[in-house]
């Protein structure tokens, strides 16, 4: 733990190690209590640090449990929480509202990086990239062969996007470069200028039946948790591909694994998992999975941008202005 409180600077508990540029900015403008080892703090530790430092704010991440037990136990000195994420289901928003704690998040800045990563997941799964790399690394490649590692040609295929928010729309833009036909399911239909000719489905299950590739880009909510279960997978085309760069909880792991094993689905590209960093061990053994460790926003530019957005929001709040990305 590093950082000292000064009379002139607000104290911010920073729960994860951030990029050097963001930590320098925090050190310049605040009295940050930094996490030098990047350990994931237990809820009680977050509360203890806030009390010990008489913190004015928290800068948390999606890995932190900032639920009701934390919010209720925070000292009255804490007036703002900035989360280093777009998702905010790790925070008790209702509790913050009751206590008058401002909560901000980081929309927009990670859109392109996550959309790029989603494209990587789709191509990696469709073209059996993980199998090919393992073959090379294990010294098993004996040369080119006409039927070796035949994958799925994505150009011209029907892509279904579950959740057409910023990231879903950015991914659709990239997919159009592959001449893919875009279908989407969303809570509401987009305006024509945002839809760009994509086919809207007000019933997500109806969309599943027509797509060759399904990309999950919606937030995790009570309505979307375990959305992709065995019944809905059965609605999909044989040989379809599933991609998830949103939240692991949206997929029923056992159902997806069963479909991959049985050949109902050709492949899956996954960057997120339920109960991260744990994942169902079976995923590791399946040859038709392309797996990444939650790299969606993992570029220097994006992580700098996320951190700076957090600090921008804190700057605005403590200056008496409306934070640009305020949730409550």
139's tokens: 């010294």
Banded pLDDT at 2 (limits 50, 70, 90): low
List the domain range (segments joined by +) for residue 188: 111-291
Please state the separation of Cα 248 from the chain's center in Å: 9
Question: Across the strands, what pairs with 104?
Answer: 82, 326
Q: What is the pTM of this model?
A: 0.93
- Per-residue pLDDT reduced to its tens digit, 15-73: 999 999 999 999 999 999 999 999 999 999 999 999 999 999 999 999 999 999 999 99
- Is 294 among the residues known to form the active site? yes
**Residue 212 and residue 189 in one domain:** yes
**Residue 182 and residue 312 in one domain:** no
**Residue 98 and residue 121 in one domain:** no
Residue 217 has pLDDT above 60, yes or no: yes
**Residue 74 and residue 57 in one domain:** yes
**Residue 157 and residue 221 in one domain:** yes
Q: Which of 294, 301, 303, 321 is catalytic?
A: 294
- Is 247 among the residues known to form the active site? yes
The pLDDT assigned to 8 comes to 79
**Residue 136 and residue 35 in one domain:** no
- Is 25 among the residues known to form the active site? no
**In a domain? residue 323:** no
Number of structural domains, the chain?
Answer: 2
Phi–psi pair at 255, nearest 5 degrees: -65, -45
* Neighbouring C-beta atoms of residue 178, cutoff 10 Å: 15
C-alpha–C-alpha distance, residues 254 and 229, integer Å: 8
**Residue 134 and residue 246 in one domain:** yes
pLDDT more than 90, % of the chain: 97
**In a domain? residue 327:** no
The pLDDT assigned to 1 comes to 54
**Residue 163 and residue 256 in one domain:** yes
Q: Which of 25, 127, 183, 247 is catalytic?
A: 247
Give the domain CATH number at 98: 3.40.50.720
**In a domain? residue 1:** no
Q: Which of 99, 189, 276, 326 is catalytic?
A: 276
**In a domain? residue 2:** no
Q: What secondary structure does DSSP assign to 164-204, as a single string?
A: -SHHHHHHHHHHHTTTPEEEEE-SSPPPHHHHTTPEEESSH
**Residue 43 and residue 146 in one domain:** no
Residue 220 has pLDDT above 60, yes or no: yes
- Per-residue pLDDT reduced to its tens digit, 160-208: 999 999 999 999 999 999 999 999 999 999 999 999 999 999 999 999 9
Window from 4-8, 190-194, 244-248 with minimum mean pLDDT: 4-8
Task: Tell me if 41 sits within 8 A of 15, measured CB to CB.
Answer: yes
**In a domain? residue 5:** no
């Amino acid at each position: 733990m590093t950082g000292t409180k000064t009379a002139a600077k607000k104290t911010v508990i920073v729960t994860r190690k951030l990029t050097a540029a963001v930590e320098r900015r925090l050190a310049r403008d605040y009295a940050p209590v930094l996490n030098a080892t990047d350990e994931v703090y237990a809820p009680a530790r977050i509360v203890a640090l806030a009390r010990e430092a008489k913190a004015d704010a928290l800068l948390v991440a999606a890995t932190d449990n900032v639920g009701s037990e934390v919010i209720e136990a925070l000292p009255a000195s804490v007036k703002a929480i900035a989360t280093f994420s777009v998702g905010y289901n790790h925070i008790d928003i209702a509790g913050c509202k009751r206590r008058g704690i401002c909560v901000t998040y980081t929309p927009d800045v990670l859109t392109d990086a996550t959309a790029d990563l989603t494209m990587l997941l789709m191509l990696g799964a469709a073209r059996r990239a993980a199998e090919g790399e393992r073959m090379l690394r294990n010294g098993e490649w004996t040369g080119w062969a006409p039927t070796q590692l035949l994958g799925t040609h994505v150009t011209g295929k029907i892509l279904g996007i579950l959740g057409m928010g910023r990231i879903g729309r950015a991914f659709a833009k990239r997919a159009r470069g592959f001449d893919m036909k875009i279908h989407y399911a969303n809570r509401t239909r987009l305006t024509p200028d945002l839809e760009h000719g994509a086919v809207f489905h007000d019933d997500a299950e109806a969309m599943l039946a027509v797509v060759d590739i399904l990309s999950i880009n919606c937030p995790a909510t009570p309505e979307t948790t375990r959305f992709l279960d065995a019944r809905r997978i059965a609605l999909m085309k044989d040989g379809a591909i599933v991609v998830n760069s949103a939240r692991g909880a949206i997929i029923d792991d056992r159902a997806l694994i069963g479909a991959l094993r049985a050949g109902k689905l050709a492949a899956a590209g996954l960057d997120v998992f339920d109960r991260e960093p744990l994942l169902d061990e079976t995923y590791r053994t399946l040859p038709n999975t392309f797996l990444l460790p939650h790299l969606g926003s993992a570029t220097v530019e994006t992580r700098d941008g996320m951190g700076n957005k957090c600090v921008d929001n804190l700057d605005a709040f403590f200056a008496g202005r409306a934070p640009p990305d305020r949730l409550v």
